[in-house]
Structure 1
Amino acid sequence: MITTKALAAELGVSIATVSRALNGKPGLSPTLRKKILSEAAQRHTVINPTARMLATAKSENVCFAVYHLSGPVSKDPFYFPILMGLEEETRQVGLQLTISVIGEEEVKDASSWRVIQERRADGVILNGPFVPASFILKLHSLGIPVVLIDNFNELLPVDAVVPADRSGAHEAAMHVLSLGHVKTAILSGPKDWYSNVERSAGFTDACVSKSLDKPDIFYGLDTTFESGRKLFRKAIKKNPTAIFCVNDALALGAIEEATSMGYSIPQDISFTGFDDVEGAISSRIPLTTVSVPREFLGKAAGRLFWSRIDDPSAPRQRIEIATKLIVRESTHRVKKSGKSK
């Protein structure tokens, strides 16, 4: 006999794909379905009861949830590509994807969230580094499968898919340092957001490895364009020649403020962002940034979710997705004579 998990590995398909073939659900090509059923019959496949739940779930929905988003997901440059990747993955296994923006009321009492209360979804994929841990733990205690995207906490017993935040920021720092910069600063959002912590640490580690002073870190209430402008006004008092921002929105806001104050970018100050959202390349000064493959984050989260549904007792997984430094026009070799205005 062979388990669905082992059969999926042998055939090179997802566990959810095997489960749907065995339970007669849509979303597979006739050829693939025939191949899976043939192998399953020959190998006397043992169907995990939880895997069967995936294929026979009452709602056949997975919820893509974002906490505290100010606008629609379809217009968000970071989350929309993630949603597209996840949507493609769910379509392949014949499930539906619902979208929910979580507010303060849902966070206060997860059991009152209509998605859960009315069983509108068989599990939740939570996005963002600032989803309260108490909310995540409550969902877990209710037996709701949860996968986090762009968030991780050692104390939370749930799966997660994250960008390689620390190594990506380290690579960005090494690029800046190779241009001769020694006085650097970091613009960040709240101290307790996972991605902010990891990205700041990666950049700082690179500076320390070169025997340089740790960069000054300036924290904002969020990571928006406007916060970038405000934080730059604080950071410039320390006279950095290069500024690393934990996301592109902060970087673009900071550049806007710097130019309005008379600085020439990148000749006076180099800027580096993180994420590589659409505005990074189309801005007046194309932004050097760390590219996050956001669509692949969504696909990876979907696969991790199907795996959790099939084997709920498996050890918690944290999947890290590689990033890539994209050098554009916002970084420049440091001026020997310092800044000029």
Structure 2
Amino acid sequence: MGRKRFQHGTHTGPATVRTVADLAGVSIASASRVLNGLGGSPELSARVKAAAERVGYVPNAIARSLQAQRTGLIGLAVADIGNPVYVQMMRAIEQEIAGSGRQLLIQATNAHTANETELLRGLARRYVDGLIMSPLRVTEAHLHELGRTAVPVVVVGQLPDETPIDNVRADSIAGVALAVDHLVELGRTRIVLINGAPDTVPGAHRDAGFRAALARHGHEPVGVENGEFTFDAGLQATRRLLNRTRPDAIFAANDLIAAGALHALLEAGIRVPEEVALVGMDNTDIAELTFPRLTSVDLGAAARGRKAAQLLLSRLDDPTLPARRESIAPALVRRESA
């Protein structure tokens, strides 16, 4: 199994579906369907086959087997299907794949590495055509299983740059900087972070981004509270915080934590934003439902889901595509809490 090398114009390399599509003047999806025997008009088929013969394209047996065994299902694995940020992501993914005639199958992993690696191993049973997953932690076990999955996988989250897996990520460090810059512009100097689990990728990035942004302004953190990415964790962390210090601003690592922090502040008779400004992260529906409404950093959950679905669908059309990495820029959405 392999491909002949070809020379077309100034480029020399192995012939791929993209090569054939470019030469035939058709889309990669159209060329892939013809080359895998999935149909096309007589004129289109003739052009694609002529181009394939000209460049010496040899079909990849693995790619052909992926095309031949279809279930019509796309898997989505997230830590918590009740988290609003995942709900936003799910909606966008479902809308994107609906146009391909496929359906979405959702799995909650509870952020357990064992659950996620077993899920990746289970792809050998081919119960889905492909998988989108958003792990909170990325371990060596994850990377090992990702390197040998039986169907295409797209990871939403941070992967090591050299990982040959399609990847969509948010720039949360830049997002934290937007929040801190905004609070400093408001004149706040006693800023604390209420974070999720620091051993997760988002938790580590929130912490690093917070400390770097404060240092850039010549400030030190008044305090950092770590817990989970939940309402109750935000509530309890803020209660503990208020027992030992009085900040003038809180940055919460997600909107659930921010909602819990807001509840604790109001419970203590502290006015928001007059006495303590509050900024959340993810810009979920929660930000619009609190009073006052939450200023929040939008990390583009829907945009990440949409892009992940697009990457997976194009991978299913052409399994020979090189691994791609996409980044979604953050934006600060200002509301009454800050």
Q: What TM-score do the two structures reach when normalised by structure 1?
A: 0.78
Q: Extract unaligned runs of 5+ from structure 1.
A: 332-341
Corresponding residue SS for 2:87: helix
* Residues 14-40 of structure 1: CA deviation (Å, up to 9, x unaligned): 8556534654659xxx9xx89975863
**1:55 and 2:67 correspond:** yes
Bigger mean CA deviation after superposition, 142-151 or 284-293: 142-151
Counterpart-to-counterpart distance in 1, 2:263 and 2:29: 47
Counterpart-to-counterpart distance in 1, 2:282 and 2:166: 22
Q: Counterparts of 1:168-317 in structure 2 under 5 Å?
A: 168-220=175-227, 222-236=228-242, 237-306=244-313, 310-311=318-319, 314=322, 316-317=323-324
Q: Extract unaligned runs of 5+ from structure 2.
A: 1-7, 9-14
Match among 43, 48, 51 for residue 40 of structure 1: 48
Match among 65, 72, 77 for residue 65 of structure 1: 77
* Residues 140-173 of structure 1: CA deviation (Å, up to 9, x unaligned): 3454533221343468654421212111111111
Corresponding residue SS for 1:78: helix
Q: How many residues align?
A: 319
Match among 110, 115, 123 for residue 130 of structure 2: 123
Q: How far apart are 1:102 and its partner, in Å?
A: 2.9
Paired residue type of 2:241 = A
Paired residues of 2:75 and 2:131 also in contact (CA < 8 A): yes
Question: Over aligned residues, Cα RMSD in angstroms?
Answer: 3.6
Counterpart-to-counterpart distance in 2, 1:284 and 1:293: 23
**1:89 and 2:113 correspond:** no
Q: How far apart are 1:282 and its partner, in Å?
A: 1.9
Q: What TM-score do the two structures reach when normalised by structure 2?
A: 0.79
Aligned to 2:32: 19
Paired residue type of 2:266 = T
Distance verdict in 2 for CA 1:306–1:52, change over 3 Å? farther
Counterpart-to-counterpart distance in 2, 1:139 and 1:3: 23
Which of structures 1 and 2 has the bigger CA Rg? 2
Counterpart-to-counterpart distance in 1, 2:120 and 2:20: 37
* Residues 89-113 of structure 1: CA deviation (Å, up to 9, x unaligned): 3334444432222369982694588
Bigger mean CA deviation after superposition, 234-243 or 16-25: 16-25
**1:4 and 2:17 correspond:** yes
Paired residues of 1:115 and 1:121 also in contact (CA < 8 A): no
Q: How far apart are 1:117 and its partner, in Å?
A: 5.6
Q: How far apart are 1:307 and its partner, in Å?
A: 5.2
Paired residues of 1:106 and 1:113 also in contact (CA < 8 A): no
